[in-house]
Structure 1
Amino acid sequence: MTSKTEDVWLPFPAEEIEGLPDAYRYRHWDGEEEFPADPAACVFYVTPYMKSPEVTLRPLAHMPDLRVVQTLTAGIDHVLGGLDDLRPGVHLCNARGVHEASTAELALTLVLASLRGIPGMVRGQDREEWRSGFYDALADRTVLVVGYGSIGAAIEDRLAPFECARIIRVARSARTAPHGPVHALADLPGLLPQADVVILSTPLTEDTRGLAGAGFLARMRDGALLVNVARGGVVDTNSLLKEVESGRLRAALDVTDPEPLPQGHPLWHAPNVLITPHVGGSSSAFEPRAKRLVVRQLTALAAGEPLANTVLTTG
């Protein structure tokens, strides 16, 4: 039996979440300076959404009885630096199932907006300029999805009606998925020259940090579009700047390195670059899905059942 003295920290007020089990005492904390209670009583910590690693990790060293760290992001790179403060056996769970639809929508938006020249048309509207002409279509193009997890698969689902010539899938290791074969990361050098659009949706790990560097970008065909809805660190910013400033490549970036992108950074005004401020998961779809995930996880914990989305266990 769980104790009524066990706390759960939530970034949403508990009264706004239907179905929470009554086995726990709920504390609302979304990264404020003061903690809502003694962290030592916390057994289940739902991290604040889109806060800095410094904010997110601050309570961990004070949570000796913690059992679960639940992120509300698909990526976990922002919490890895605090795991050494935890006792063995703590489950780190991500938000698989929460962001797929929203991130895939944005990926498709960035592809279409970039190919059809929408940013330039918006600037033309501001100046009352009629910018007619021919623009690139997604139809008959080859798209390479790098990072074929649940988000990558959701991106392919949304690409399907657009009559792409081919969709190439790449993940850490080769396998067969419902839509077709998935290539290994090691195959990228031979696949990149085939693609008109390259979409990055891979987690940020030691293997993927700087993945889209000078060699990767050089293998992309002239005029190709790089779309990043993964993490900024997957792309080497200086290498990308050289390619877009030369006019050889185009880019659409929901994430950047550094992030937030500071004023005066050359990416802001680089030619053929579309930037959105890391809003892949920040849509109306986020909150209800995040709350349902939290309820499912806490219900499982209270019942002594396995948790979903466990990425690793400390120890």
Structure 2
Amino acid sequence: MTDRLPGLFAMDPVYLPKLFPEPNLRRLRAVLDIDPAHVARGFADERAASALADAEVIITGWGAPPIDASVLDKAGRLRAVLHAAGSVQWIDRAVYERGIAVSSAADANAVPVAEYTLGAILLAGKNLFGLRDRFRSERGFVIGQDHPDSGNYGRTVGLIGASRIGRRVIELLRPFDFEVLLSDPYVDADEADRLGVGLAGLDELFARADIVSVHAPDLRETRHLVNAERLAAMKDGAVLINTARGALVDTDALVAALATGRISAIVDVTDPEPLPSASPLFDLPNLFLTPHVAGSQGNELARMGRCIVEEAERLADGQPLVHAIDPGLLWRQA
């Protein structure tokens, strides 16, 4: 192990103790000379500028200040930016052009989103939301009564996007008796076989799946990927799940489709976000709406922090970063 690398925290300081509770912070400070009492919100003040000039590693998180060419001109020793959150689209391309490594905790953040999705799929397949409402309105039930619209055996689940989250959802679905379809333009038949899923075009997936779950990135090309035509193609009783980004779904089309009562939805992200208080999404009985909480929350932030601690340990030990960002793929990533 080499001497500790000079480091600097740059993020909203409210997140530091959540990302780096004592066990994480102790491991991090074993390899980085970094002061948890100094968290930069910008790089203009004298203390931050001095730390930036010495830093070989910047650890960022939600609320991090921009890192662009003007910042890099003052960070002559910088070797790596380790982002203790998901997307790194906010990091200027100048960072990559100067050969500075960038890593993120996107894989760690994918874990709770995939878990939320699995729970949503299982509850949707069991029709628990509809049965809950029926139970609430009727104030009783018949013991032993069969509910023919309930059950997960043999359901077809359609996943849009073999992203980090999409792939983890595929892993989580393996123990269950689902047929899993995948639509992703960058996955060929051989890779689909390795993943254990069937490939389908988007239109076919919407027509065949009992449950459709969205895991594609928010790009110009994916805006309103879920549109009125595809919603109309869904089976009666089918369920749409969106934990990706709100812009992938045409909100007006979703409201209209749900208003028919023919399909239902579980939605964690919306367009716009946050929703205006008058949004009809709040009042649709067949929509289960949550406030963008599928990603890391509460104690789950420590998982992202641990991911970055492990990357810092690799960097200090001269090993390659496991979660390094490939700048050539950024154009199709969230």
In the superposition, the TM-score normalised over structure 1's length comes to 0.79
Q: State how far apart, in whole Å, the 2-side matches of 1:193 and 1:30 are.
A: 50
The Cα shift of 1:5 comes to 4.9
Question: Equivalent residue for 1:25?
Answer: 34
Post-superposition Cα deviations, 1:258-280, rounded to whole Å, max 9, x if no partner, equal: 22233221111123111122222
Question: Equivalent residue for 1:171?
Answer: 184
The Cα shift of 1:127 comes to 7.4
Question: Equivalent residue for 1:183?
Answer: 199
Gaps of 5+ in 1: 50-54
SS at match of 1:145: strand
Q: State how far apart, in whole Å, the 2-side matches of 1:8 and 1:269 are.
A: 42
Question: Equivalent residue for 1:52?
Answer: none
Post-superposition Cα deviations, 1:208-267, rounded to whole Å, max 9, x if no partner, equal: 232212333233223211111212222121221111112232110121122223322111
Question: Equivalent residue for 1:226?
Answer: 240
Q: State how far apart, in whole Å, the 2-side matches of 1:214 and 1:32 are.
A: 43
CA RMSD of aligned residues (A): 3.5
Q: State how far apart, in whole Å, the 2-side matches of 1:81 and 1:101 are.
A: 22
The Cα shift of 1:291 comes to 2.4
Question: Equivalent residue for 2:16?
Answer: 12
Question: Which of 154, 159, 167 does residue 140 from structure 1 map onto?
Answer: 154
Post-superposition Cα deviations, 1:189-225, rounded to whole Å, max 9, x if no partner, equal: 2332111111112222333232212333233223211
Q: State how far apart, in whole Å, the 2-side matches of 1:72 and 1:109 are.
A: 25
Q: What is the number of residues matched between the two proteins?
A: 302
SS at match of 1:252: strand
Question: Equivalent residue for 1:99?
Answer: 109
**Higher helix proportion, which one?**
2
CA contact (8 A) 1:174 1:181 kept: no
Question: What is the letter of the counterpart of residue 110 of structure 1?
Answer: A
Q: State how far apart, in whole Å, the 2-side matches of 1:19 and 1:31 are.
A: 21
CA spacing shift, 1:81–1:15, aligned 2, 3 Å: closer
The Cα shift of 1:103 comes to 1.9
Post-superposition Cα deviations, 1:101-159, rounded to whole Å, max 9, x if no partner, equal: 42222112222333444445656777792366724222221111112234223223333
In the superposition, the TM-score normalised over structure 2's length comes to 0.75
Q: State how far apart, in whole Å, the 2-side matches of 1:219 and 1:227 are.
A: 15
The Cα shift of 1:81 comes to 4.3
Q: State how far apart, in whole Å, the 1-side matches of 2:158 and 2:261 are.
A: 21
Gaps of 5+ in 2: 329-334
CA spacing shift, 1:59–1:154, aligned 2, 3 Å: closer
CA contact (8 A) 2:120 2:266 kept: yes
The Cα shift of 1:161 comes to 3.5
Q: State how far apart, in whole Å, the 1-side matches of 2:162 and 2:9 are.
A: 33
Question: Equivalent residue for 2:331?
Answer: none
CA spacing shift, 1:123–1:300, aligned 2, 3 Å: same
CA spacing shift, 1:43–1:8, aligned 2, 3 Å: farther
CA contact (8 A) 1:111 1:252 kept: no
Question: Equivalent residue for 2:300?
Answer: 286
SS at match of 1:151: helix
Q: State how far apart, in whole Å, the 2-side matches of 1:231 and 1:68 are.
A: 28
Question: Which of 97, 102, 118 does residue 108 from structure 1 map onto?
Answer: 118
Question: Equivalent residue for 1:236?
Answer: 250
Of stretches 146-155 and 80-89 in structure 1, the one that deviates more from structure 2 is: 80-89
SS at match of 2:217: coil
Q: Highest CA radius of gyration, 1 or 2?
A: 2
Q: Identity rate of aligned residues, in percent?
A: 28
